[in-house]
Every structure is written in structure tokens, then in C-alpha cells.
A and B are shown apart, each in its own frame.
Chain A
Amino acid sequence: MSEERLVDVLFWVFAIGSVVTGYRVFRTDSMVRAAFYLLASFAAVGGILVLLGAEFLGMVLILMMAGEMLVMAIVMVMFMMNPAGLNPMWMVHQHRIAVAAGVVAFLAIASLGFLVDFPDQPNARPELATEQLGIELLGDSMLVFQTAGVALLSTMAGVVVLASRRGRYGIADEGSEEPPLQPDEVDLLGEEATP
């Protein structure tokens, strides 16, 4: 099939896939499945971005979302009282209000799509899209962004270190304990409470 037809078919596959998997996020009974349906939805959006010629953005979206959705699945399991996320559960709360709000928001954005006069200037596909994207986003501040990136990475690592076993109140497996909220619970004789 011709390239244009292929692009059309792919666009509709990605678009409908994105909406359907997005809907499935809320109708599924398991946290991990919900996270992965959301991942599928984002991956479809990444596919659409590639179809639009923004190759770098689309691929980076897919790359980032893989790690992010996995971490989200794990954090969801961490916070819910559901052993390893293996038991079925009802994933939504106050769903009537949420559905109403969602439908209203969708209608509003869709109406924007129909009512606004989008400019019609077909561009030739850029030859070095990534380079142009980089210059557009980072401009003259490339070095600043690089240093900021490394600084952010070290900040993240530092946060984890602070939160880990060598916490603020001593080493966790040597009985570190945060001070109690009520001051009169502190043992005035200075003996350590058993961990």
C-alpha cells in the first residue's frame, strides 16, 4: 500500500488505540494492568508524534514512559493494601463526578478542534529535525542545560541517600528512630526505646 495510505491507517490505529486503552485504564480491576494500559496509551501518542515528523520527541516519549509507568505500577502496589497487586480491586472512586468532568473536558477540547481556525502551511519535512529541535529548545544555553542535568541527577541521588538506611536519625538497622511527635513521649532517662 502507498505510503500515504499507510500513514493514514497507522494514525487511526494509534488514535483509536490510545483512546481505547485510556478508557481501559479505569475499567480494569488490577493496578498493574491499569499502569500498563496507560503506558500503551502514551506509546500510541508517541507513535502519532513520529507520524507528525517529530521523531525524537516521539521516541523519547516512549523511552521515558516505559520507565515511568513501571515505577508507577510499583509505587501503586507499594501504597495499596493489596498483596503484590495480585488481588482484584475496584480501581475508581467517585467515578460519576469524574466521568462527568471527563466528558465535559473532552467536549471542550474537541470543540476547540472544530471551531478554531488552524493555520494551513504545509512544511517540508526537516532534514535535521533533531538538531533544529535542540537549537530551538536550548538555544544559547546548551552548557547551562548540561550542567543543570548533571546537577539534577546528583540531587536525585542525594535525596535517595538521605532517605535510605543512613537516615537523618542514624543507621536504620542500628535502631534509628525518629523523635516522637509528642515531646513528653521522649524517654527522659535517655534509654533507647526498643526498635
Chain B
Amino acid sequence: MRQFLARIAAGAPVPVFAIAGAGAREQVQDLRLNPGVRLVDSPREANVLLVAGAMPESLAEPLQRIHDAMSHPRCTVVAASPEGRDLHAWLPDATAVALHEPIAGGLVDVHRGILRGDRPSEPALLPDVEPAPWRGVGPFGQGGTGMTGGTPYGRPMADLLDDRDGLRLDILPLTVGPFFPRFPSGLILQATLAGDVVVESAIEANPFTDLDFEMVTPSPTLGPFLRALSAPVPIAELELARARSHLRWLADALVSQGLHALGVRVLALAARVRPGDGEEVRKLERLLRGTQVFRWSLGGVGPIAAERLIAIAAGPVARASGIAEDARADDPAYRELGFTPVTQRAGDAAARWRQRLAEAEQALDLAGRAGPRQTEVRGQVEGPRGLLLAEGAPTGRLYELVPELLAGLEWGDAIATIVSLDLDLEEAALAAQLTAGVPVA
């Protein structure tokens, strides 16, 4: 009976919990386009753990934890270039797949193998030990000193904190990340929740700064911007990469707002869009307005005042609050094309979505008209997330804003705000290493 069910189950889309490390973000995103693979939000639902790209050592234990949280029958697939040997040390039973070939085929094969029983389900990597063993004196394990006997199971007694509604509620400290499906890889958020409202939050330091980016190939949408720091790059190529970056971000953002199918549609658009296809983005914006995402989901969520963003040069985030700063305006080649920065006024999450859509449309128009022109400014470039300098990337500059942004937001709004900021920890760490003169492929 079990064999029969396993044979039928082999035809179902493989539930994969995909983790994208450095240099693999786009391949993992593109798995959504493949009907044989289903990216899931929780490792419990997954049978296959995919770790693609390079990972710093500080993320080894979270990887192992996620591996142990998967349901049996489980298997791991590691898709990394040869420098990913560390990953094999941390996940010993994993199957290796080459990163620069389609990963989906490997996932389906491994999954079928494990359903047929070709290999056993992988055992747990971490010891099965209670993290905070505790036993009180009462008959149910309660009691002892204090009302509930100290800190049962590591949970401190509920403290009271002032809340925005004037109610004093219990607080719940919660650590989310580094592989929370809505966050960029590596983002660890330590939030203190009172009810469903985030009262305090803090973001841990970027774990990717420990990673040696020498051997990591930057993704195709980031590569042109990094090259433009030191050499002339055709404007058409740069603007096409910008539009693609915005559309890829939009696909993930749509999934976070419950529009999975639309996210797949946008991802397919990102792959096939060509210079001059501004009309496609306009059609997309009309479609999005019809879903009411700007009114119901994002209207008034996470507003950032323009004063907070003046010196940060955070690209679309700043321009969505009305600050018309754009490094492209300093470039004579762009001025020839008649470039002016696009801005929104509201500064909330809906404005940031609209800003990126408008910028994608503008980028495609520019790419269509650019012809053979090349960038003429070195040392700085307006990346898809903001001003990319040899000294730093916009994500690092936005870090300090996040705790004050999230304070007082309901959880869903907090997630929507973080998604709307388009943080990219890999880019931030990579830019930091550029100052050391690390060559970029």
C-alpha cells in the first residue's frame, strides 16, 4: 500500500524549502516557474531542503536546525560551486547538484529516489535535547519560586509593556530568521511583540560579511552594476538589469501579500522582458491596482518621513518619500536621454511599490532609447536599491531605520514594510568587500 502511494506521490510537485545563499538568489527564485517544484514556507511541509550558493559559517547551525525540522522522508540538496565544500561539512548527507545548471531536475530525481526507498531518510544532525529543561514542584510540573516557578521552558514570565492602544499587554520576545521565507536570506529580526504589535525590534549584524566573496559570481542582475563602478557599461544593459531586479523583487513581494499566482506571472515577465517593453509594466501596474493591493494591503503601512532619508541615498525608498536624489542625474549620458528622477509623495509601502514599478517602466524606456551609449561616471552607480559606492551598499544604510520603522506596527504590516524596503544582505556584504580591492567577475 505504501509503495502504491509512494508511486502516485512521485508525480506530485516536490515540496522544497529553498534557501538562497550568496550568488544563487535568482536560480532559487526561478524555481517558482517550474511546475514540478513547489516552494513552501515551512520546513515541516517540505521533503527536500535546497541550499544553493555560498553560506557563511555563522549560518551553519540555523541550516542544521531547519534540516532537522523537516518531515520524514527528507533529503538535502546542495547546489554550490566548488567553494561550497563547507556546506557539505555542515550537511553531510546532502546530494550535490551543480549550481549553474537547472536545479529542478536534480530536486525531482532526489525526491523520487527517496520516495522509492533508494536511500533512507536523513537522520537528525543536532542532538534532540530540550533547550531549556525545567521542572517545578507541582503535580503538573508547575510551581516553585514565583507565580509560575521561574522561567519554565525558557519562557520568561510575561512582562507588561505599554502598548500603543493604551493597554498594557504581555510581551513575547521572538527571533525570526535567518531563513524566514519573506525575509532576504540572512536577515535575523529580534522582535518584542505585545499582542500582534511589534513594540521593539533589532536586526542582527549581517552574517554575509564573514563570507569570502572572491569565488562567488554575483547574480546576473547585480553584475552590471558592480562592473559599472570601475568600467563603462552599456546603459541598455544596466537599465534592463534594473528593471529585472525590480520585477524579481515584485514577484517575491506579491507572494508575501498572498498573490502567489500573480507572483509567478511577474517572474515570467522578468525573464522575458526586453528593452523598450515599458508597456508591459504599465499593464502590470493596472493589474495590480485591480487587486487592491495598494489600498487594502499597503495603504498607509510603514510610512517613512522624508527627513529620515535625506542623506541615506536609499534609492527607490528615498524617492518614494519624495526625495529626488538619483546618481543617474549626474551622468551626462543619462542627461542626454532626458532622464529625470521619478518620485512619489506618500512614503508608505504602497508608494515604494509604485515607485519601483514606475522605475522599472522608466528603465525599460531608457534601455529602449539608449542605443550604444555607455555610463560615463566611475566610482558610484545608482543600483536598483540605491547608491552603490565602493564604500557601501544601501541595505547597510537602511539598517538603522528598521527598528524605529517597525515600532508600533502590527506583525503583517511589519513584514510588508520590511519586504517593501528591498534589503539585500548579500549585496551589502559584497560592496563592503569591494573596498578591499576584491576583483569582481
With a CB–CB cut-off of 8 A, which chain B residues contact A176? 166
Of all chain B residues, which has the CB nearest A172?
Answer: B166
SS class of chain B's interface: helix, strand, loop or mixed?
A: loop
A residues 60-102 in Cβ contact with B at 8 Å: 78, 81-84, 86-90
A90 to B143, CA, bound (A): 8
A residues 157-195 in Cβ contact with B at 8 Å: 164-165, 167, 172-173, 176, 195
Q: Is the CB of B166 within 8 A of A165?
A: yes
- Looking at the complex, which one of B143, B147, B156, B169 makes contact with A78 (CB distance below 8 Å)? B169
With A81-B158, A173-B408 as known contacts, state yes or no: A87 contacts B165, CB within 8 Å. no
B residues 146-174 in Cβ contact with A at 8 Å: 147-148, 152-153, 155-158, 162, 164-166, 169-170, 172
B residues 68-127 in Cβ contact with A at 8 Å: none
Does A29 belong to the interface (CB within 8 Å)?
yes
Most central of B138, B141, B157, B166 by chain A CB within 10 Å: B166
Q: Is the CB of A83 within 8 A of B170?
A: yes
Of all chain A residues, which has the CB nearest B155?
Answer: A83
SS class of chain A's interface: helix, strand, loop or mixed?
A: loop
Q: Is the CB of A173 within 8 A of B153?
A: no
- Looking at the complex, which one of A29, A165, A172, A173 makes contact with B142 (CB distance below 8 Å)? A29
Does B140 belong to the interface (CB within 8 Å)?
yes
With an 8 Å Cβ cutoff, the count of chain B residues facing the other chain is 23
Most central of A82, A83, A90, A165 by chain B CB within 10 Å: A83
A172 to B142, CA, bound (A): 37
Q: Is the CB of B170 within 8 A of A84?
A: yes
A167 to B162, CA, bound (A): 15
With A81-B157, A83-B155 as known contacts, state yes or no: A90 contacts B170, CB within 8 Å. no
Of all chain B residues, which has the CB nearest A173?
Answer: B164
With A81-B147, A81-B157, A87-B142 as known contacts, state yes or no: A172 contacts B170, CB within 8 Å. no
A78 to B172, CA, bound (A): 12
- How many residue pairs between the two chains, A and B, have CB atoms under 8 Å in the bound complex? 55
A130 to B155, CA, bound (A): 51
Most central of B157, B158, B172 by chain A CB within 10 Å: B158
With a CB–CB cut-off of 8 A, which chain A residues contact B172? 83-84
Say how far B157's CB is from chain A's closest CB, in angstroms.
5
With a CB–CB cut-off of 8 A, which chain A residues contact B157? 81-83
With a CB–CB cut-off of 8 A, which chain A residues contact B138? 88, 90
With a CB–CB cut-off of 8 A, which chain B residues contact A83? 155-158, 170, 172
Most central of B142, B172, B408 by chain A CB within 10 Å: B142
With A84-B170, A87-B152 as known contacts, state yes or no: A29 contacts B140, CB within 8 Å. yes
A86 to B148, CA, bound (A): 11
Contact with A along B224-265 (1 / 0, CB 8 A): 000000000000000000000000000000000000000000
Say how far A95's CB is from chain B's closest CB, in angstroms.
12
Of all chain A residues, which has the CB nearest B195?
Answer: A78
Q: Is the CB of A172 within 8 A of B165?
A: yes
Of all chain B residues, which has the CB nearest A91?
Answer: B140
Say how far A166's CB is from chain B's closest CB, in angstroms.
9
23 A–B contact pairs at CB < 8 A? A29-B142, A81-B157, A81-B170, A82-B147, A82-B158, A83-B155, A83-B158, A83-B170, A87-B148, A88-B136, A88-B138, A88-B141, A88-B152, A89-B142, A90-B139, A90-B140, A90-B142, A90-B143, A164-B165, A165-B164, A165-B165, A167-B166, A172-B164
- Closest 7 A/B residue pairs (Cβ): A29-B140, A172-B166, A88-B140, A88-B142, A173-B164, A87-B152, A83-B158
Known A81-B148, A82-B158, A88-B138; 18 more pairs at CB < 8 Å? A29-B142, A81-B147, A81-B157, A82-B148, A83-B156, A83-B170, A86-B155, A87-B148, A87-B152, A87-B153, A88-B136, A88-B142, A90-B139, A90-B143, A164-B165, A172-B164, A176-B166, A195-B162
